[in-house]
Every structure is written in structure tokens, then in C-alpha cells.
A and B are shown apart, each in its own frame.
Chain A
């Protein structure tokens, strides 16, 4: 799999995904033309894609954390994407920079000096994380009509696009974090509700899984980083003029406005 031919293909597919994102245009899935690609190949494309930005890594995001999505993607485990500094927004989303963005609520965990020499267990996360915050993630698949397989989406950095963190970082442990009510409004209408249990039962389970996988893959994380633990509700499409407000019971709220 590390033959020169495959290395060339990895670089070419990463370049195509990078160009699609920079030029704000959707492309066909890569699997139909490359049916032999494995999930490992997909992560190699993701690493090459992330490197093309030449921007600092600020964290990770968990993907495919709901059973429904795993079944739809024919996988049994979640995956991860890599967050870069330019993806962080503060209250405003510029629609013209994105293809077909969708917003989903998540719990963000913050880490500092995470041990990388051993496997992490989910029951350690409350101690290892320095805190948590409510978050909105903006996903924006580079693929036409948001249609993809697991290999496609891992290569495409798991549709990572933008993210916004709540103002306050809260301490852990937080009682019944998995049952905090999450209420997502679009232009004043409640469009989604859920609870953090939607991500593999608990955000800590998702966190431990994704951290172990990324560390095993040799992903270089900064000393301090953020982890988005996975979408709590279905992702909501947004257009210019939309205002998303999300309340997290006992945790806080976030608003995001979509401009041209």
C-alpha cells in the first residue's frame, strides 16, 4: 500500500479534495473510481489533505458516532477528522465559503498534555480533560449531495468545515452530562432535540475511542487541543440569513448567524 503508485494516488486525491474545499465546489465520491481503497488508505488521504493546508492542528472531531450513521455507512466504529485553526468561528458563518453546510450540536472536551504512551479508557476522560463546553460543528462534505461511503468521508477529513465553542469552559465531572437536554432552534423554531448520550452512550466513550485511534495513527496533536465528541442530533442545513441557537440544559447556549 506504500508503493509509489499508491503514494501518487493518495496525493492526487488529497489535492482534489483540497481544491474542492478551496474553490467551494462539490466533487464526485472517490470510491467509485477507486473501489480498492481501504479505511487505512482513507486516513492516509486525510493526513495528506490536512498537510496541504499548512495550518496548525487545533484538535480532533469524532465522526459516525451514532449507530444510525454507522449502519448507514456500513461501519461498526466511529472515526475522526482533524481540526485546523481556520475552522474556528465566533458567531458568524460565511455561507459563500462553504458548499452545503449543515450544523450539529456537540460537546467539546479540552485536553492538555494528554498521555500518548498508552490506551485511554472512557472512565479516565473526566480526569484527563481540563474541561468541556457546548459546541456547534459545521459539517460540509465536499461530495455531491452529501453522499459518501465511510472511505470517502474519512478521506474528506470527515466533512470537517467550521466549529464554534461556547463562551464558558465548564469543569468536569458534570452530573448526568449524557442527559443534558439539547434544543436546537433555527430562526426561532425548534428543529432538533437530543441528549449527549446520542454519541456512543456518552461523550467520554466517543472521546476515548477517537483519541486511541488517532494516537495509534500517529496524529501529531498540540499540547493543548479540543475534541468535538460527535453530533448529538441530526445536522441541520443552513442558508444565508439563518440564525441557529442551541441551548444545552445546565451548560449554556451558543448562537451562530449565517452571512453571505
Chain B
């Protein structure tokens, strides 16, 4: 395994994303692919998008559900980068033809107004640096065929990110315990799944603190202005053309998206 392998993987992911044709797991060809190497592939994959005009506007945290970490046999979350090209406005429409095998989940999005640059970032730092939170829908997608991912595969694939939608109501974290806010996702107006904030790494605030420290270990600082999708709060739903999906969250409000062919 050398740098050219990592470059090749980044090229293949970029091509799979452009062509909407999924690829075999990277780890099928390179079982020893480490987490560090996978993040290097992710950076290479994103640099290709940035070269073509995309801008990083935030981060997403994945694998925040203990059940999913247990299934993948990993003990910590992972992260990917949010690009401006992934954003859709609340109530907007996403063409399924622009994605491969999307799934939708409800999350809490943090918007920072201070850098999280402490040597070790605690929950207190996250609370102090968060301007407000908004409800969010993340449309995850995988460039890996049939979602047959291991930890290294999803990290390389930008943490299986696709698109995201932010709600239009801002809520500050003063006196708010995100762990005990309930949420419901409706699929075509029918209740699909419910969850609560604690489903995300015990507390979405802890999830963001984990991200800040993970990034510090890689020499990156979470900056004021970034939007951070803190992790899914319930099982995903799978959209079809003509569907709409709404998340309602206690206190935070709601957010919705439509899907076309």
C-alpha cells in the first residue's frame, strides 16, 4: 500500500459519485486499509470536488449509534465533510437520479460561532461555542455497492454523506437537555420512526466534542460558522420518487424534503 493506492481509491470514489455507479468495497481489495489511510482517501476524494468548485461548510459525524458501531465492530464514531453542493433548502426537492442508494435520517445540526480550538474540547466548550441548533435531515448515500461497508470504507467515502437539509428555526442550548428531546420522522405523512437526542452518542453535545478532539488529532480545527450534523437519532427511511420526509423534533421544530425521480 502506498500513496498511489490512496490516490487511486480517491479517483474511483470520485468517479463512482459522478457516474452514480457504486463500486466494490475498498477493503475487499485492501483488507488492511487503516482508519488513517481511509481519512487520507477521503481528503483526496474531497479535494477533487473542491477543485471543481465545491466549498467545505461543515462536518458530519457518523456511527453515533451504539447499535451501528457494534454491528461494524468499532468503538468510536467517524466523520466526513459537508460541502455547499450537498445542501438543499427546507421543503426542497432532491432528484433521486443524483444519488445512488439514499437513506434519510433525522439529526440535530450545530452552528458554531467560535472556533473549537482548546487543546482538549469538553462539552462545556461545545456549549459555549454553539450559536444555536437547528433540526436537520441528512440524506446519506454510499458509493459502495449495497452499502457493504466496513469502517474504513465509509470513512474513505466521506462518511457515506449525500445531501442535507436544515430547518429554519434556531434554538439556543440555554437550559436545553438535547438528550431528552424526542423526535419523529414521517414518511409520506405516516409515522416511520421515533427517537430521542440521547440516541446520538449519549448526547449530541458529546458527539460534537468527540469530533473536535478527533479533528485536533489530525491537525484540523472546527471553525466558527461551520455547520455540524451531530449524528442520526433513529433508524433511516428509504425514499422513492414522489415521497416526502419530515422530521419533527420537540422544541427544535421541523424540517422536510421531497424526492423526485
Interface residues of A (CB under 8 A from B): 67, 176, 178-183, 189-190, 193-198, 200-201, 232-233, 247-250
Of the residues B66, B182, B191, contact of A181 by C-beta under 8 Å: B182
Complex interface: chain B residues within 8 A of A183 (CB): 179-180, 196, 198
The answer, yes or no, to whether B250 is at the interface (CB within 8 Å) is yes
The answer, yes or no, to whether B22 is at the interface (CB within 8 Å) is no
The 5 closest A-B pairs by CB, nearest first: A195-B182, A249-B180, A181-B196, A179-B250, A181-B182
The answer, yes or no, to whether B255 is at the interface (CB within 8 Å) is no
Q: Is the CB of A197 within 8 A of B196?
A: no
Interface size on B (CB < 8 Å)?
23
The answer, yes or no, to whether B159 is at the interface (CB within 8 Å) is no
Complex interface: chain B residues within 8 A of A248 (CB): 180
B197 CB to closest chain A CB, in angstroms?
6
Q: Is the CB of B191 within 8 A of A180?
A: no
A4 CB to closest chain B CB, in angstroms?
45
Extra contacts besides A179-B181, A179-B182 (6): CB < 8 Å: A180-B250, A193-B196, A193-B233, A195-B250, A197-B191, A250-B180
- Alpha-carbon distance between A190 and B179 when the two chains are bound, in angstroms: 11
Q: Is the CB of A181 within 8 A of B184?
A: no
Q: Is the CB of A181 within 8 A of B179?
A: yes
Q: Is the CB of B182 within 8 A of A249?
A: yes
A64 CB to closest chain B CB, in angstroms?
15
Complex interface: chain A residues within 8 A of B199 (CB): 190, 193
The answer, yes or no, to whether B177 is at the interface (CB within 8 Å) is yes
Q: With contacts A193-B233, A195-B250 known, is A181 near B190, CB below 8 A? A: no
- What are 9 A-B residue pairs whose CB atoms fall within 8 Å in the complex? A176-B250, A179-B181, A180-B180, A182-B196, A194-B182, A194-B196, A247-B179, A248-B180, A250-B180
- Encode B174-196 as 1/0 by CB contact (under 8 A) with A: 00010111111000001100111
The answer, yes or no, to whether B59 is at the interface (CB within 8 Å) is no
Total contacts A to B, CB within 8 angstroms? Answer: 81
Q: Is the CB of A181 within 8 A of B181?
A: yes
- Alpha-carbon distance between A181 and B65 when the two chains are bound, in angstroms: 16
Q: Is the CB of B196 within 8 A of A195?
A: yes
Q: Is the CB of B202 within 8 A of A181?
A: no
Q: Is the CB of A181 within 8 A of B234?
A: no
Least CB separation from A201: chain B residue = B191
Interface residues of B (CB under 8 A from A): 66, 177, 179-184, 190-191, 194-199, 202, 233-234, 248-251
B187 CB to closest chain A CB, in angstroms?
10
Complex interface: chain B residues within 8 A of A178 (CB): 182, 184
Least CB separation from B182: chain A residue = A195
Complex interface: chain B residues within 8 A of A190 (CB): 66, 198-199, 202
Q: Is the CB of A197 within 8 A of B190?
A: no
Q: Is the CB of B191 within 8 A of A179?
A: no
Q: With contacts A189-B66, A249-B250 known, is A195 near B194, CB below 8 A? A: yes
Of the residues B177, B194, B198, B202, contact of A197 by C-beta under 8 Å: B194
B175 CB to closest chain A CB, in angstroms?
12
- Alpha-carbon distance between A180 and B177 when the two chains are bound, in angstroms: 12
- Alpha-carbon distance between A214 and B197 when the two chains are bound, in angstroms: 36
Complex interface: chain B residues within 8 A of A195 (CB): 182-184, 194-196, 250
Q: Is the CB of B179 within 8 A of A198?
A: no
Least CB separation from A183: chain B residue = B198
- Alpha-carbon distance between A88 and B177 when the two chains are bound, in angstroms: 31
Complex interface: chain B residues within 8 A of A232 (CB): 194
Complex interface: chain A residues within 8 A of B180 (CB): 180-181, 183, 247-250
Q: Is the CB of B195 within 8 A of A194?
A: yes
B242 CB to closest chain A CB, in angstroms?
20
Q: Is the CB of A198 within 8 A of B194?
A: yes
B168 CB to closest chain A CB, in angstroms?
18
Q: With contacts A179-B181, A179-B182, A249-B182 known, is A194 near B194, CB below 8 A? A: yes
- Alpha-carbon distance between A146 and B191 when the two chains are bound, in angstroms: 26
Complex interface: chain B residues within 8 A of A200 (CB): 191
- Alpha-carbon distance between A182 and B197 when the two chains are bound, in angstroms: 9
- Alpha-carbon distance between A243 and B196 when the two chains are bound, in angstroms: 20
- Alpha-carbon distance between A104 and B247 when the two chains are bound, in angstroms: 23
